[in-house]
Each structure stands twice: as C-alpha cells, then as structure tokens.
A and B are shown apart, each in its own frame.
Chain A
Amino acid sequence: MPRFGWEATVADAPETQQTTSAVVEAAFEAQAPGIKRAAVIGGLASASGIALTATSGWLIVAASHQPVILTLLAVIVAVRTFGIARPVLRYAERVRSHDSALDLLARRRVAAYQALVPLTPARLGRRSRSDVLTTAVEDLEDLVFAKVRVVVPVLGLAVAAVLTVLALGLFVPAGSLVLVAVLLAQVGVSALGRRMELAAQQDWLRARAEVARTATLVTGYAAQLRGIGAGPQSLGWVREAHLSLSVATRRLARARATGVALGHVVTGVGTILAALVAHWAMGVGLNDAVAAVVVLAPLAVGDAFVGLPDAMGAWARARGSEARLRDLLDQPPAVHDPAPLPDPLPIRGISPLPGDAGLPRISGGESSGSGLSIDVTGVAARWWPEGQGAAYDVGPVTLSIGAGEHLVLTGANGSGKSTLLAVLARHLDPAAGSYRLGGVDVTTVPLAEIRAHVAVVDDEPHIFASSLRENLRLARPDADDGAIEAAIRAAGLAGWFDSLTEGLDTMLGTGGRGVSGGERARLALARAHVSNRPVVLLDEPVAHLDHATALAVLADAHRAFAGRTVVMVSHRPDGLDGFDRVVDLAELADT
C-alpha cells in the first residue's frame, strides 16, 4: 500500500492538536511531482512552437537567395521536427498534467477528509451543514485544478522563455536582450492582471453567491412564495442580484481585457524593437535569415503567452477557495478527547474498547437493553471559543434524566435546545458544569467510547448512495438482515419496505431510488434502532415534515425506543403523548 506523509505524522504525533494541524497542512501542501514534469513538457511544446516560427522564417529568407536545395535540408528537417513535436508534446503535457492533478486530488481529498472528521459536526456551522460540506468539496477541487491551470502554463512558459533567450543569444545577443525585455514586460502585465482580478473578485464572488441564494430560495419555496403572492417580489430579488453580478463581472472582465490588450501591446512594441535591432545588426554584418528570426521571435513568444491572462484569473480564484477552505479546516475541534485513539479507529459498535489503563468505563446499558442515566449539573456551553461570542449559547442548566426515560426538550427557537443536545452527544465540550452519563464524568472517558453509546438523529439525515442494507448497517456493522428488517418495521417503514421489489438490496440515494422527507426521517430512526445504543438523541427529527406525518413518525419513534433513554428536542408542543416528561429549557436554568 502506498504511504503518504500524513499517515506517518498521525501515528507519531503525541497530541491531538498537532495531529489535526498536520492533517490540515497535508490538505494544502500535498504535492504531485508529476505536475512539474508535465509543466516542463508543456514548456518544450511551447518552445517547439516558437522554434517552428523561427526556423520557418529562416528557411524562407534563406530560400529566397536561391541556394542549392541541399544546403537547406538541415533546416527543413528542423521545421518538420518542431512541427510534429509541438502537438505530440502538448498531448503528453495535457495527459500528464491531468493525471497528476487527479493524483493530487486523491491525496488531498483523503487529507481534507481526515481534517474534517474531528470538526464534525459542531464546527460545520449550526445550519445547512451539508451545504458547508458541499462547498468544501468544490473548493478543494478548484484548488487542485488550479495547479493545471496555473502551475503548468506559468512554469512551462518560463522553461520556453529561458530556452528561447538562450538559443537566440547564441546568434544575436542584442536580439535576446529585446526578448528578455519582452518577457519581463509580460511578467509585469500578468502581475497587474492578477492584482486587478484579486481586487475585483470579492465583489464578484459575493454577487454570485447572492444570485445562487435568491435562485435557490425561489426554487426551494416556489409554492410558498406563490401562496402569499410574493412571486413577482422574489423574482425582483433575483433581478437585483443579477444587476450586482453584472456590475461585478464588468469589473472582473476589465482585468482580463487589460491583460489581453497589454499582451498585444508588449508583443507589438517588442517586434518593433526587434526589427530595429535586426536592422542595426545587419548593418554590422548579420546574416539576413538570422535577422528574420530576430524580428519574428517576440511574435512567436507572444503567441505562447496568449493563455496567461486566463491562468492569472484561475490563480486569483484559487486563492479565494484556499482561504475559504482554511477558514473551515483551521478550527480547533469543539471537543477535547482525553484519550484519542490510534488511527485508524477500529469499528466498535457497542463492544467495549480494548483495555487501556486508568480510564473509567461506562458500564451497563447495552447488555441489558436498557438506557443509561444522564445527569447534567450547571452545564453551560457555547459553539465558538471564548472571545468570538462572549455569552453562553445555553445554560447554565441542571437536568437529570433517568435510565430509560423519554424526555422532550422544548423552548423558543434559538434558546439553546440544540446546543444542550450537542453537549449530550459529546459534539461540544461543556464550558462549565459537569455531565455524567451512566454515572461517569464524560470528560474523563475517551470520546469514541462515549459516542459509541449515543445515537444521534438530526433534521438533515443523509442517505448514502448505497443499498438499503448498507445504509442501515453502518450503524452496527455486525447487524444481520433480521435485525435490520426489524428496525425498518419498528421505524414505521413496514409498508414502504414491503413495496420494495429488491428488499434490502434496493439502491438508495443519488442515482438510486428517491426517498420522501418522511421516509428519510424514518430511515434515520431505523439507523438509531439498529445501532442498539442505549441513549438516543433526536434533534427536531420531524422539523421538515407535514403535521400528520410528523405525528406518525413521533409515535413510531416513541414505540421503537422503548427501554432506551431518549432525549428529543422539539419546538412543537403537540404529538408528544406518551413521552414521560416535557421540559421547557427556560425552566431548567440555574438562577
């Protein structure tokens, strides 16, 4: 198995924090050596193009002296060679650069994924986590493909430029000086173009995001908008966003247009200078065919530089992607793990961890099929570290939940219900107070151990592009088909399941069978059921369902988890019959 740098780092690192930052760095720093090789090949292709123009010019001028054809043979061979070499080398560069970029993408994806794991879910934002994750995936791809769009042309042109300057310098040193000036001017033009792109880019990205936001609002809520007669108004928002985008695009296009125009100006001025130098050199005895080469050189180089403004644009864009990705990945985890496990984590389900000394264990629960007690004393928590938001997002609160009790946590939206649930799930460290699960202080037990006792169902459960069986079995890898089927029926999916012709082999998710919002919520409940975990935390599991479906799902959840400890966050006061206790968070606050 090939080994990557980060694996060794993970195994050797004594501290979680260091491990995390090493993995984060790998997500940005992993290199693919093939890209540089591809760039050199691309440089040779560009150099062949330049040489093709130069040798052709030489040939024509030399031929016009009506020499014996044999004396031209060497140049004819050279023209032919360069003519064939250019497309062949360009092909090799393109295949190699894309291959290397995809290799790099594979490595960085693994590293970025590893960096995301300890940040999940608390550091992904409070809402629309799947959107945050989608953006991260896209940014990573942009960043990697910027290598093909920036490094390959820039490095390649540098190679071609050096070769051209050296080759011309052999015959006409003054001519190569003109070429050096042309190249320096091209570098200046590119730097200017990049600066202008960067300056215009922020507005452009913001405008583009606003267009996406308003368009998604309209597509996501078309019926609701029409229902209240706000259709025209919402189209107005989209139109406004388009206006800002149009303004921002003009500014961005100005950067590109300036690069293109100045590129032509540099080539033109360079050709004129070269013509004057050639004229002077012929006066001191330069061969006229070589003089033709001197005149044509800046033109040939200019042709090779045509793609540079685009490369500068890609470079500027990649900077934005990198900044966004860094903001996400450079966060400290929201929970401190008293005993991080060696990587990779073994699958545990609920089986106890192999013995390691000194740390308390959680006992009971899983074997008896009954829940664990939860004791929260004076717990307060905040999503962001101190300084970013001074006040607590929840608490301090005190709450005791008996083993096997079914409790509903209500309260105004934004009052901290989900924050408290995140603490119970060990997604978030308590900033104050103590949290005991099954009588054990959670901050003294390995994170994985606590989490292995808790199943969490949130309001955006993900259905993987896989079979129904695998979608549920991920909650407990040793679950057999019987247990999986029982969980499906317990979650109120019996009718749906019986209608599937392929049973547990039915493919779900992207490219598979679509599932409705109610089925999705129930599949998440079935997952929690399969897991056999003694504590089940439900975070508004029915928030996106209509009234009738919501009531039915809640009733099924209540039945399915009999015996286990259930804490459900809900902002609906109805449909809670059968739960042992309904508690308003406001009543729990310590005074």
Chain B
Amino acid sequence: MRPIDPRVFQALPEARRIMAGLGALGVALGVAAVAQAFAVSAVVVAVVRFGMPGAPGLLTALLALAAVFAVRATLGALNEAYAARAGIRVSAALRERLLARWLAAPVDRMPPPATASTLATQGVTSVEPYVARFLPAMVGAVVLPVFVVVTIVFLDWVSALIVVLTVPLLPVFAALIGRATQDHTERRWQALTALSGHFLDVVRGLPTLVTYGRAERQAESIRTVSEAHRAATVRTLRVAFLSSAALELLATISVAIVAVTVGLRLTYGTMELGAGLACILLAPEAYWPIRRVGTEYHAAADGVAALGAALDELADAPAGVSAPAIPTRFGTDGVSYRYPGTERVVVDDVTLLLPGAGLVTVTGPSGVGKSTLLELLAGLREPTAGVVSAPEAHLVGQRPLLVTGSLRTNLTLGLDTPPNDDALWSALDEVGLGDDLRALAGGLDAPLGDDGFGLSAGQRARLALARAILSEAALVLLDEPTAHLDDRSAGLAHNAIQRLARTRSVVVVTHRPELVELADAEVRLGGDRG
C-alpha cells in the first residue's frame, strides 16, 4: 500500500474526521510554537534591553510568555488524549468491520484462521499510529511550513527567501535517499523476517524438542541466529538512521544560513535585535513538521502493511447474498462444490428436496462431501454450480463450539431472546443431560472452561444438540451428532432428534444405522448415487 491511499477514507470514514481533527490540533500546536518564538524573543529583548527605548516591557513580555505556555500545555494535552482515543476508535471500527465481513462472506473466502487472527489483533492495532500520528503529521507538514514562511516574510523577507529555497530540499532529499536504499531495504527485511522468526519457532516447538532430547542443543543455534539477526538489523537501521540524520543536518545548515545573514545584518545595524531573534527561533519550525513525517512514518510502517491487507479484505466483493424471501420449499437444485484452487469436485450435482418438517439422513463413505453439503445448506459456502434455497439454518458441526462462560451462555448462544430456565432444563432433559448437569455447582450458571473443558466429548455433543432444540431455526443440520456417544446415550439423542423433526426440517449426517432407520428419507452420497 502507498503511504496515503484513498481507500483508507472510503473504508474508514472516521479516519477523515480524525485526520482533520488531529491535523487541526497539530496546526494549532505549530501556531502556538510560532507564538512562543515571538514571546521568547520579546522576553529576551525585554531583559537585555531593559529600560531602553523600543524595548518591550518585561512584565508584558512575561505575561505573554505565560499565556503561550498555558496554551501549548493545553493543546499538547488535548492532542495526546485525542490521539489515543482516535487510535482506539479507528482500530475498533476497522476490527469490527473486518470481523463482520468474515462472518458474512463464504467461509472459503476467509484467510486461514492464523492469518485472520493476526490481522484482526496485532495487525489492526498497528494501524493506530498510522491514523493517529502519521496522517495528522502529513497535515502539519503541508500547512505549517507555509504558515511559518508567511510569518517570517513580515519580519524579514531575506530569511523567508532562504527558508522557501531550502524547505523543499527536505522532501526531495528524503525521496532520493528512499529510492536509493529501497531495494537494499526490501531485501534486508525479507532476510530479517526469517531470522527474527527463528526464536519464536524454536520456542513454540520446545515441547517437541524436550520430548526428543534435543532442547539443550538449540541454545547454541539461538545464539548464532540471534547474532546474525543483530548484524542484519543494525545494517538496515543504519540506513534509516542515516537518512534521518541527513535531514536533520540539512535543516540545521539551513537554519544556520538564516542565522548568518541575520547576524551579519545585526552587526551592520540594518536589523532589529527582536526581529532577528524571532527569525532564528522561527526558522526551525518550518523544517520540523517535515522531519516529523519521516519519524512518524518509520513508526507507522507496520500499520501501513496491515492496513493494506485489511483494505484488501474489505474490498473483496461482498457475499452478494441479498436476504431472499423465505422459500416455501427448500433444498438444493443441481448443487456442486469445489474448494477454491482445487480441481476435485467435492459435492457433485446434488438435488435434494427437503420437507417442511421431517428427518432426512445423509450417508456415504468418508470424503464424499457430506459435511460440505450441510455447510452449503447452511449458507456457509457458495456453490460453484446450482442453487441452494434454504431458510436460516442451525448447523451443529462435528466439533460444536463451546465458549468460556456459563452453561447458560453456551446454551443460549445464537438465540435472540433467551428462554426461561425451565425451557433450558427441559431441553437438557430431552437429550439426557439434565441429571448430569444438575449435579454441577451453580446449575445453569456453572462455569465451563475454554472449549467446554470439564465436559466429556459426549456431554459436549449433547449440549450442542440441546442448543439446536432451543434454536428457532426452521432447518436444523446435524453433522455426526452421536458419533461420540455410547449406545445408551445415542439412543436418547436419537429419540430427541426424531421429536425435533416433528416440527422442523432436520438433516443429519450419520453413520449410525439406528438413526437412519428412524429417518423419513435417506440420501446416500457417493458410489451408487441416484
């Protein structure tokens, strides 16, 4: 992504306001710095020319100085507070938009979970300095040098001319250094990424290394690679630091030229002390905003990369699922599915008519796309051919989701209006889980660990089934709901599924013949399909 990308303002409308607000604050701070230069030079003149004709009154000058510092303190504090809040506002908005997009798009359009999670956490956070520091610095860099030059013109046009001639050298110089070192830097960054990942890789693999007695030997390789990382990093940083030193030197030399001409004219008596002093104190303020852009860009570089990735995600055409009218008959018509980037057709031309209520089982050897068919019915995947018409479904996958929280939280996940406790218990009783869970301390408020820690696999599966019973979905999709259950529990669960199918359309993927026998219809996938 380029440092300033118009997509930023389309995808993040709040960034525009923040850039304007923080930019204005930055400009106000710059103006206050100009005022400070005048106030300080007035105080110096008032002290060294005390009582002489033309010298400002000491008390007036000191009061002006106090006022300027009060304004700077206030603006500085406001800027700091506003920048932090603005950063959070932007990162929160970006994160929520990104997650909402992933929750709406077909699952195979989502990046792999590890990539997605990194982008949604650290990636989005690194955008904060970009929006809250870098963009406002850009505003300051455009406005403030002009303002400072105009101010200096009123004091001394020669100094203003020197500043006008030298200020543009800074961005030109920065661009030249940037271009000369770009290839070099990019090559280095690639090498750096590999080196800096080594320690994390070894540490994350520590349990494996300990198992095979290889842990202690890695200490030496950590030292070697860390040393190589150090050498490579310092080489890269040298370039970055050298360019910022060059810009500082350029600014210092420019100010020095202003100072020399002012000094000469003071010596010849063709200039007032106050004006000369003010010129010299003002001149650096013309260069500083431009140098600040470089510094802030250095800090925001990670954010630029992350923002580019996030904008790419958001730019992908939305799922295009306009909520269709609830169909009266649902099912699939000639549906096929192929995983993106692969040739193999997982689901091949399946036509399925589902009753408004009733139990349909889906069977077939492993790998014929039974689970994929359920995901197509649930709208999680987009068919590569054919049509799916189905109402909003409740899908219980093979690894039902249980979150850290109470039993109640987990039972009512996805419900708009949580039912009362009696309804929750009766759903649990229906799947034969009521007695087990009444024993838990806290009842429905009993905490469940991460991923349902504390429950057996069978209990987890039945909890998910109870959740399906509680859901109001007209279509319930169950993927191997009783694979983890012993025969007795499975029998109870099968009865519950059969009862559920009296009022709703239930599609079950299973390899249990007992359940297939209870079904109103059986769909066999693979082999002798027809």
Which residues of A line the B interface, CB within 8 A? 52, 56-57, 59-61, 63-64, 66-67, 69, 72, 76, 79-80, 83-84, 86-88, 90-91, 94-95, 98-99, 102-103, 105-106, 109-110, 113-114, 116-117, 120-121, 124, 127-130, 133-134, 136-137, 211-212, 215-231, 233-235, 238-239, 242, 245-246, 249-250, 252-254, 256-258, 260-265, 267-269, 271-272, 275-276, 278-279, 282, 288-289, 291-292, 295-296, 299, 309, 343-345, 347-349, 411-414, 425, 448, 451-452, 454-456, 458, 461-462, 464-465, 474-477, 509-511, 514, 527, 531, 544, 546-549, 551-552, 571-574
- Which of B19-27, B248-256, B354-362, B500-508 contacts its partner? B248-256
Closest 10 CB pairs of A and B: A268-B69, A548-B366, A227-B395, A253-B84, A106-B226, A102-B230, A230-B414, A462-B205, A264-B73, A288-B48
User: What are 11 residue pairs bridging A and B, where the CB atoms are less than 8 Å apart in the complex?
Assistant: A56-B259, A63-B263, A80-B256, A98-B233, A102-B229, A105-B226, A134-B204, A222-B103, A227-B394, A413-B452, A448-B213
Of all chain B residues, the one with the shortest Cβ separation from A270 is B69
Is residue B144 within 8 Å, beta carbon to beta carbon, of the partner chain? no
Neighbouring A residues of B47 by C-beta, 8 Å = 275, 278-279, 282, 288, 291-292, 295
Query: If the complex has contacts A98-B237, A235-B103, are A261 and B450 also in contact, measured as CB distance less than 8 A?
Result: no
Of all chain A residues, the one with the shortest Cβ separation from B214 is A474
- Which of B145-153, B169-177, B397-405 contacts its partner? B397-405
Query: If the complex has contacts A225-B103, A458-B207, are A253 and B222 also in contact, measured as CB distance less than 8 A?
Result: no
The bracket for how many chain B residues form the interface is 35 or more
| Distance (whole angstroms) from the CB of B339 to the closest CB of chain A | 12
**Selected contact of B213 from candidates A64, A222, A296, A452, CB within 8 Å:** A452
Q: A116 to B267, Cβ gap below 8 A?
A: no
**Selected contact of A220 from candidates B61, B117, B375, B395, CB within 8 Å:** B117
| Distance (whole angstroms) from the CB of B325 to the closest CB of chain A | 19
Q: How far is the CA of A106 from the CA of B229 in the complex (A)?
A: 9
Q: How far is the CA of A124 from the CA of B458 in the complex (A)?
A: 28
Neighbouring A residues of B262 by C-beta, 8 Å = 60
List which B202-236 residues lie within 8 A (CB) of chain A: 202-220, 222-223, 226-227, 229-230, 233-234
Is residue B367 within 8 Å, beta carbon to beta carbon, of the partner chain? yes
Is residue B199 within 8 Å, beta carbon to beta carbon, of the partner chain? yes
Of all chain A residues, the one with the shortest Cβ separation from B401 is A224
**Selected contact of B414 from candidates A233, A253, A571, CB within 8 Å:** A233
Q: B95 to A242, Cβ gap below 8 A?
A: yes
Q: A461 to B217, Cβ gap below 8 A?
A: no
Q: A275 to B62, Cβ gap below 8 A?
A: yes
| Distance (whole angstroms) from the CB of B183 to the closest CB of chain A | 21
Q: How far is the CA of A464 from the CA of B473 in the complex (A)?
A: 44
Neighbouring B residues of A245 by C-beta, 8 Å = 88, 92
Q: A475 to B212, Cβ gap below 8 A?
A: yes
Q: How far is the CA of A345 from the CA of B215 in the complex (A)?
A: 9
Count chain B CB atoms within 10 A of each CB in A106, A133, A452 and give the residue with the most. Answer: A106
What 14 new A-B contacts, CB under 8 Å, besides A67-B267, A238-B95, A548-B366? Answer: A66-B266, A91-B244, A106-B222, A109-B222, A116-B203, A226-B103, A238-B99, A275-B58, A413-B460, A458-B207, A464-B201, A474-B214, A511-B193, A514-B112
- Which of B1-9, B330-338, B421-429, B478-486 contacts its partner? B478-486
Q: B234 to A99, Cβ gap below 8 A?
A: yes
Count chain B CB atoms within 10 A of each CB in A87, A221, A412, A475 and give the residue with the most. Answer: A87
Count chain A CB atoms within 10 A of each CB in B77, B244, B253, B268 and give the residue with the most. Answer: B77
| Distance (whole angstroms) from the CB of A419 to the closest CB of chain B | 13
| Distance (whole angstroms) from the CB of B107 to the closest CB of chain A | 5
Q: B197 to A465, Cβ gap below 8 A?
A: yes
Q: How far is the CA of A296 from the CA of B36 in the complex (A)?
A: 12
Is residue B194 within 8 Å, beta carbon to beta carbon, of the partner chain? yes
**Selected contact of A106 from candidates B44, B104, B223, B392, CB within 8 Å:** B223
Chain B 88-126, CB-CB to A under 8 Å as 1, else 0, gives 110010011001101110010010110011001100000
Of all chain B residues, the one with the shortest Cβ separation from A218 is B99
Q: A246 to B241, Cβ gap below 8 A?
A: no
Query: If the complex has contacts A216-B120, A230-B414, are A265 and B69 also in contact, measured as CB distance less than 8 A?
Result: yes
Is residue B280 within 8 Å, beta carbon to beta carbon, of the partner chain? yes
Of all chain A residues, the one with the shortest Cβ separation from B251 is A87
Neighbouring B residues of A262 by C-beta, 8 Å = 73
Q: A228 to B394, Cβ gap below 8 A?
A: yes
Query: If the complex has contacts A228-B396, A413-B455, A574-B483, are A221 and B401 also in contact, measured as CB distance less than 8 A?
Result: yes
Of all chain B residues, the one with the shortest Cβ separation from A279 is B47
Count chain B CB atoms within 10 A of each CB in A222, A235, A451 and give the residue with the most. Answer: A222
Query: If the complex has contacts A109-B222, A212-B121, A451-B213, are A228 and B245 also in contact, measured as CB distance less than 8 A?
Result: no
| Distance (whole angstroms) from the CB of B108 to the closest CB of chain A | 10
Neighbouring B residues of A91 by C-beta, 8 Å = 241-242, 244-245
Of all chain B residues, the one with the shortest Cβ separation from A290 is B48
Neighbouring B residues of A348 by C-beta, 8 Å = 213
Query: If the complex has contacts A279-B47, A458-B207, are A110 and B99 also in contact, measured as CB distance less than 8 A?
Result: no
| Distance (whole angstroms) from the CB of B224 to the closest CB of chain A | 9
Neighbouring B residues of A465 by C-beta, 8 Å = 194, 197-198, 201
Q: How far is the CA of A140 from the CA of B299 in the complex (A)?
A: 20
Q: A60 to B273, Cβ gap below 8 A?
A: yes
Q: How far is the CA of A223 from the CA of B40 in the complex (A)?
A: 64
**Selected contact of A257 from candidates B49, B80, B206, CB within 8 Å:** B80
Q: A63 to B267, Cβ gap below 8 A?
A: yes
Neighbouring B residues of A222 by C-beta, 8 Å = 102-103, 107, 110, 116
Of all chain B residues, the one with the shortest Cβ separation from A254 is B81
Of all chain B residues, the one with the shortest Cβ separation from A259 is B80
Neighbouring B residues of A571 by C-beta, 8 Å = 456-457, 484
Q: How far is the CA of A109 from the CA of B80 in the complex (A)?
A: 35
List which B447-494 residues lie within 8 A (CB) of chain A: 449-450, 452-460, 467-468, 471, 473, 477, 480, 483-486
| Distance (whole angstroms) from the CB of A229 to the closest CB of chain B | 4
Query: If the complex has contacts A103-B230, A573-B486, are A227 and B380 also in contact, measured as CB distance less than 8 A?
Result: yes
Q: A256 to B84, Cβ gap below 8 A?
A: yes
Query: If the complex has contacts A66-B266, A474-B209, are A275 and B43 also in contact, measured as CB distance less than 8 A?
Result: yes
Q: How far is the CA of A88 from the CA of B244 in the complex (A)?
A: 10
Neighbouring A residues of B142 by C-beta, 8 Å = none
Q: B206 to A120, Cβ gap below 8 A?
A: yes
Q: How far is the CA of A360 from the CA of B323 in the complex (A)?
A: 72
Q: How far is the CA of A217 from the CA of B69 in the complex (A)?
A: 48
| Distance (whole angstroms) from the CB of B400 to the closest CB of chain A | 7
Query: If the complex has contacts A86-B252, A106-B223, A225-B401, are A531 and B212 also in contact, measured as CB distance less than 8 A?
Result: yes
